[in-house]
Structures are given as structure tokens and as C-alpha cells.
Amino acid sequence: MPGRVARVWRMFTAHPARSVVMAFAAVILVGTLLLSLPVASEKGGTTGFVTALFTATSAVCVTGLVVVDTGTYWSDFGEGVILALFQLGGFGIMTMASLLALLASGKLRLRMQLTAQAETKSLGIGDVKRVLLGVAGTTLIVELTVGALLSLRFRYGYGNDIGEALYVGFFHAVSAFNNAGFGLRADSLTRYAQDPWVTLPVAAAVILGGLGFPVLLELLRHRTRRRTTGRRTWSLHTRLTLITTVALLAVGMLLTCLLEWNSKGTLGPLDWGEKLLNGFFHSAMSRTAGFNALDVGAMQASTLLVTCTLMFVGGGSAGTAGGIKVGTFAVLAAAMIAEVRGEPHAVVMGRRLAPHVVRQALTVALLGVGLVITGTLALLTVTKAPFEAVLFEAISAFGTVGLSTGITADVPDSGRLILILLMFMGRLGPVTLVSALALRERKRRYQLPEERPVIG
């Protein structure tokens, strides 16, 4: 019997990607058990299994969808568990384990390096130690800076006592940088819609976390190098991520403002400066953050469609964001442009994209579409909510965004289980999940005859 258990364990942990999946599942299970304890709820009662599982999954997968109000239902212990879960989920379960091993022994075993590489998407095994320390340092600096800014604002702008201001400020800072979207109030950040001292630091933390750790580390490394050499050469991945992120933020802000400018339930009552601020904030939050300063349920159907598109694309690779990632979106756009022009290869910024990169991007996008369609269809069979609200909820779960039109709490347990699966698969990524389930990699040793089917 022990030998059989050992074989099953090796089957699930032999491949680094499978180890990441198992680690996320294990932490979700532990979080579920902790949130089920009477001490985790404000009233002291035992929380239902599905509610605890949904909250734990939403936290570990840094989504932010909730079925109970975080600030009123959970006790201080429960809120602490949730904060720890989305910090672990954002930082990376196996990255955290590898960092602890590094600090304890001063070195990393080969398997731990491979596992950390699968989590951080570092370029080589020799880079893992530097990447782990860089990820930890970046996370600490951003969260402390944003937490301090928010705490000062809550203390001197809203009269909160020092303890409450520090707690609320750092809770939202950690939640923002990890793109978790968990807040301590039922209305999220709507009461601060006219306060740039709250919304802008939160948006900055969300954008930085959504860029991805490889991009952040490269920006910091080249900033240091430029001081000595005067040159700045960014990788294609960094340039592609930055340009696509800025473009999506601008387009999302522009369309949100145009579509909601005179809407009484959203931007209508605000002055023009506040409208621009909230248009930008909503665009940034749609990139998998989950905070909202506007009532999403009151938005126009056209705005919801724009938001769905932004949520599906998501943020940068190897960061705290979800979605199919901006790199995938940019590669697919380059492949489409090349095909329209009749060129044999997709080209981006003077670089030719390898065919397997285009195939990977297409696989991720199509798997994402398939998961969203399947999840939406399943949700429609168990709830009577309108189609656009159900579709929005499914994309929000898959993209680990956390924005909601308000139907999450009313979804039955069967629907919550569907959303749990969407959040789990969306956080791990379709390619990671498929590679984790594959028992072995196969390489075809022969070529089949070529034939061309009719397209279009």
C-alpha cells in the first residue's frame, strides 16, 4: 500500500507543472478547512463547505468573486486567512516554497529550481535564484509603498484610527498588487470613486502586478544597467507586454468614458475629471483586478462587452493577472496581420516569431474560449440570470478578475462549483493545466503526407 501511494505521488509531482497544480489544490483545501472553522466567521458558526471552498479558491486564484461579504461575514481570523491565501496565490505557491528552501539552505535542489521555473517563467535554471529574490523584493516594496499611501489617506482623509487605517490600507495594497480584488466593504471602492488618492495607488499596484514579474525584473535590471552604460535594450517580451498593456488601458478607458459618459448609474453624476479618473480605473480593474468604483450592474450592455474583452485578454505572463495574457493576444494579432499580408511568418518589432509560439498562443486562446463557452452553458442551466450577466460572470471567473454584475451570491451551489472550476483553470492557465495532466511528452519521429483543406 505505501508503495502504491508513493507511485501515485510521483505521478503527480514528477513534472514541475503538475507540482504547481497539486500545490494550488493543496493550499485551497487547507484554506477551505480553515475558513470552515467557527472562529473564521463573525457570528462564530460553522461555514458551509461550498461557501468556504468558493472563498478559498477565489483567494488562492486571486479572483475576488465572493458569495458572502468579506468585511461583515468573516472575523479577523477569517480575513487574515483570506489575505494569506491571496498573497500565496499571487506570489506563487511553488515560488514561495522555493524561496523558503533557498533562505533555509542557501541553495536550491534541481527539482525545486525546475518547479520555480515553471511558476515564474524564468528563462533558465541559472536565473531562478535571482528571479526568486527579485520577485520577493518587488512584492515587498510595492505592497509596502502602496499600503503606506493608502493608510495615510484613510488616517488623515477619512479619520480612521491608526490601527484601522493600517489594516485597511495594507489589506487593499496586498489585494491590489496580487490582482485579487478582495475588499473589506460590500460596495468595494465605490465610496472612493471621487478620490484619486485611493483609486490611483490601487490602480498602480494592479498594473504593476499585472505586468508580470519577468517584465518588472527586466525593467529594474536595465534601469540599473543604464546608469553605467547609458544603453537600454529591452527584450521582445517586455516591449510587447508594455505596448499592448498601454494600448488596452487606453482603449478601455476611452470606450468606458464614451459609453458611460451620460449614464445616470455610473459616470453621469460625476464631473469631467472624475469621469476620466473612473474610466481609467475601470479599464485598469478589468485587467483581472476585481475592484470597482462604479456599479457594474448599472453599466450599459455595450460597456459590459468591452469589459468582457479586457477580462478575457487579462494581463502579463508570469504575474498575478489572469486571462489568456497580453502576449498571447499580441502574438495572435501579429499572426493575423501576417496572414492578411500574405507573409509566411509573423513578425513583431523586427523579430520573426517561431511557429511553435503562434501555435501555443492559438492553443491558449481556443482553450480559453472553450472553457468560457462551456462554463457559460453550464451556468445557464442552473440559474435564471440573464445571458449577458452569466457570460460576464464566467469570463470574470476564468480571467480571475472578480468583477460581478451582482449575481454571484444568488447562484446555487452547483453554479458556485462551476465558477470554482473556472477560477482554478483560469489561474493555472490552460497550457499549464494540460501539461500537468499529460503523463509524458511525445515526439513524432516521422512526417505524414501534406494536404490542404478548404479554409473559409
Considering the domain boundaries, does residue 442 fall inside one? Answer: no
Task: Taking residues 51-65, report their average pLDDT.
Answer: 93
pLDDT, greater one: 442 or 53: 53
Q: What is the pLDDT of residue 449?
A: 86
Considering the domain boundaries, does residue 48 fall inside one? Answer: yes
Confidence of residue 456 (pLDDT cuts 50, 70, 90): confident
Give the residue from 103, 122, 124, 278 showing the smallest Cα distance to 212: 122
pTM of the model: 0.88
Considering the domain boundaries, does residue 452 fall inside one? Answer: no
Considering the domain boundaries, does residue 445 fall inside one? Answer: no
Q: Is 175's pLDDT higher than 80?
A: yes
pLDDT, greater one: 126 or 259: 259
Of the ranges 31-40, 392-401, 409-418, 440-449, which one carries the lowest mean pLDDT score? 440-449
Q: How many domains does the chain have?
A: 1
Q: Is 439's pLDDT higher than 50?
A: no
Q: Is 125's pLDDT higher than 70?
A: no
Task: Taking residues 296-309, report their average pLDDT.
Answer: 93
Q: What is the pLDDT of residue 360?
A: 83
Considering the domain boundaries, does residue 46 fall inside one? Answer: yes
Q: What is the pLDDT of residue 165?
A: 95
CA 338/CA 355 separation, integer angstroms: 12
Considering the domain boundaries, does residue 453 fall inside one? Answer: no
Task: Taking residues 353-357, report their average pLDDT.
Answer: 85
**Secondary structure (DSSP) of 399-428:** TT----SS-GGGS-HHHHHHHHHHHHHHHH
CA 306/CA 128 separation, integer angstroms: 37
Q: Is 150's pLDDT higher than 90?
A: yes
Residue 406: count other Cβ atoms within 10 Å of its Cβ.
13
Of the ranges 133-147, 324-338, 385-399, 418-432, which one carries the lowest mean pLDDT score? 418-432
Q: Is 128's pLDDT higher than 60?
A: yes
- b/e sequence 10-29, b meaning 16+ C-beta within 10 Å: eeeeebbbbbbbbbbbebbe
Give me the domain span that covers residue 318. Answer: 2-437
